């Protein structure tokens, strides 16, 4: 592998995990991103040079002077007219997509891949946590910041040990190769741009095949075919865990030596993996696991939501496949604390104003929003729910307009921010105002971020506040935290 690695779009959640992996392996890492974020600031603090101006002269000299020794890693979010990308192409640099690099890094290692149009970040973080908590050597590339791990990357032990000269002396090259072959890697397998087709997993979870990314696929049939191709790439002797809501044809695509386990929240005709006796107590969900690899009673999950119980079923079954027993599984599930911006409790009222809560979630697809809001309703029955939502992408808003309106209408009040464009240019007529017209919540409005903050200073007409979306709505979270913690609890967060 080349000594210099340069990232175009280093601040992305998947890109930053790769950057950290290369940094830990002794490569000189640098990169570009459009804007500074807490994630890029963390990478800078870890010794990675990052700049925010798209200019060839901003590329570090060591990259410009060492073409043959430099690997350039590219995210699909980089626009086609990007100046640095154009120069690097013209100069003949080795440029690879993030997914291609991930495929190379996992080659030769047992790979546990989690795919699905939603649920994959939470499920992959659950799986990495369960194996790590149980003491199994494991590495992980995650699409979110695990609260337990404090990172989107879990380094395999042989890399951690190889980071010091003393430990390196204790392990021969053969030791490292043997450890690499035996250490499983948990990977979030992204369907966007068909990225997951660079992976050949030993075990795969597919959480959902709902229509999404139609700007890439055109229609749902093409999306499902991509999942079928992913399933075909599971190695002989491997296992596919398939959510019962996913397209049934995916199971037909696997090879004859691949085991298929269907799973779902409750027992259905086709499900072999399911839960029972589900109860909600405070923020915790209690349930029993029914698995073809052995039942486990009284699991306690501190991250609420019926969808999260379902995600944990798949993660727990894969942990069983890796040899984790019932007692270790019970302890690991109880210790799981979730992923940043996935049903994350930001502020809870502790005195004076009654029961109030502020929750943040990354949901950006109608089915995700529906699951999130229904779980909030179950946790806080009868409470007045205000949702602040930022639509993500013009194409997604256009393609799922009715679904967004239906799911958001579960709230008592909906506040819409402008559509977050990400990699897209505006589409004529596709606006938040168009979505607002279809929402049937009793109270609804269009607001700016500053208006949302101003309302939080004085407005007491809600019991539960939720910020929802995948764009830059997360910039509101620390400011809302401070406002509401002062108002509700009388002290700064």
**Who contacts 175 (Cβ-Cβ below 8 Å, separation ≥6)?**
158
Tell me if 119 is assigned to a ligand binding site.
yes
Rounded Cα distance between 116 and 206, Å, is 5
Tell me if 307 is assigned to a ligand binding site.
no
DSSP 205-225: EE----S--HHHHSSHHHHHH
**Rounded to 5°, angle at Cα 466 from 33 and 208:** 70
Phi, psi of 354 (to 5 degrees): 80, -170
Question: Residue 490: CA atoms inside 13 Å, Cβ hemisphere, count?
Answer: 4
Tell me if 117 is assigned to a ligand binding site.
yes
Other C-beta atoms closer than 10 Å to the C-beta of 188 total: 28
Which single residue is written with the structure tokens 């949302």? 452
Take residue 3 and report the two structure tokens written for it.
């000594």
Tell whether the torsion through CA atoms of 102, 104, 110 and 116 is positive or negative. Answer: positive
Take residue 304 and report the two structure tokens written for it.
């609420």
Tell me if 118 is assigned to a ligand binding site.
yes
Closest listed residue to residue 179, CA positions, set 138, 211, 238:
138
Tell whether the torsion through CA atoms of 345, 244, 279 and 322 is positive or negative. Answer: negative
Question: Residue 445: CA atoms inside 13 Å, Cβ hemisphere, count?
Answer: 9
Tell me if 282 is assigned to a ligand binding site.
no
User: Residues marked as binding?
Assistant: 116-122
User: Which residues contribute to the annotated binding site for ATP?
Assistant: 116-122
């Amino acid at each position: 592998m080349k000594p210099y690695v340069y990232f175009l779009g280093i601040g992305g959640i998947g890109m930053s995990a790769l950057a950290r992996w290369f940094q830990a392996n002794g490569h000189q890492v640098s990169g570009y991103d459009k804007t500074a974020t807490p994630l890029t600031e963390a990478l800078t603090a870890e010794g990675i040079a990052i700049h925010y101006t798209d200019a060839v002269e901003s590329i570090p000299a060591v990259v410009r002077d060492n073409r043959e020794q430099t690997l350039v890693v590219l995210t699909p979010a980089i626009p086609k007219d990007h100046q640095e990308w154009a120069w690097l192409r013209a100069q003949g640099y080795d440029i690879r997509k993030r997914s291609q690099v991930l495929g190379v890094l996992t080659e030769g290692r047992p790979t546990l891949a989690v795919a699905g149009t939603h649920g994959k970040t939470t499920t992959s973080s659950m799986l990495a946590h369960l194996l790590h908590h149980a003491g199994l050597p494991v590495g992980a590339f995650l699409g979110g910041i695990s609260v337990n791990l404090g990172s989107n990357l879990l380094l395999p032990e042989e890399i951690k040990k190889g980071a010091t000269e003393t430990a390196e002396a204790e392990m021969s090259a053969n030791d490292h190769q043997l450890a690499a072959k035996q250490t499983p890697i948990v990977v979030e397998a992204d369907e966007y741009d068909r990225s997951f087709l660079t992976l050949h997993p030993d075990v795969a979870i597919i959480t959902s095949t709902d229509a999404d990314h139609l700007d890439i696929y055109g229609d749902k049939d093409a999306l499902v075919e991509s999942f079928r191709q992913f399933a075909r790439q599971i190695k002989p002797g491997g296992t596919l865990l398939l959510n019962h809501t996913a397209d049934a044809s995916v199971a037909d695509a696997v090879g004859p030596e691949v085991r298929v386990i269907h799973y779902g929240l409750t027992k259905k005709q086709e499900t072999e993996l399911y839960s029972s006796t589900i109860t909600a107590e405070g923020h915790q969900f209690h349930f029993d696991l029914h698995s073809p690899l052995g039942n486990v009673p009284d699991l306690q999950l501190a991250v609420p939501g019926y969808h999260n119980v379902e995600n944990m079923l798949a993660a727990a079954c894969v942990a069983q496949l890796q040899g984790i027993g019932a007692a270790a599984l019970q302890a690991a599930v109880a210790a799981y604390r979730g992923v940043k911006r996935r049903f994350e409790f930001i502020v809870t009222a502790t005195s004076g104003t009654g029961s109030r809560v502020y929750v943040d979630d990354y949901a950006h697809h109608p089915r995700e929003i529906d699951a999130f809001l229904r779980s909030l309703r179950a946790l806080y029955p009868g409470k007045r729910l205000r949702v602040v939502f930022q639509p993500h992408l013009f194409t997604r808003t256009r393609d799922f307009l009715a679904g967004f309106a239906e799911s958001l209408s579960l709230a008592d009040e909906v506040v819409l921010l402008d559509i977050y464009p990400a990699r897209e240019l505006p589409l004529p007529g596709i606006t938040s105002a168009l979505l607002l017209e279809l929402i049937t919540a009793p109270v609804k409005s269009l607001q700016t971020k500053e208006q949302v903050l101003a309302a939080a200073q004085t407005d007491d007409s809600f019991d539960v506040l939720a910020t929802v979306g995948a764009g830059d709505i997360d910039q509101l979270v620390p400011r809302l935290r401070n406002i509401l913690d002062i108002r509700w609890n009388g002290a700064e967060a």
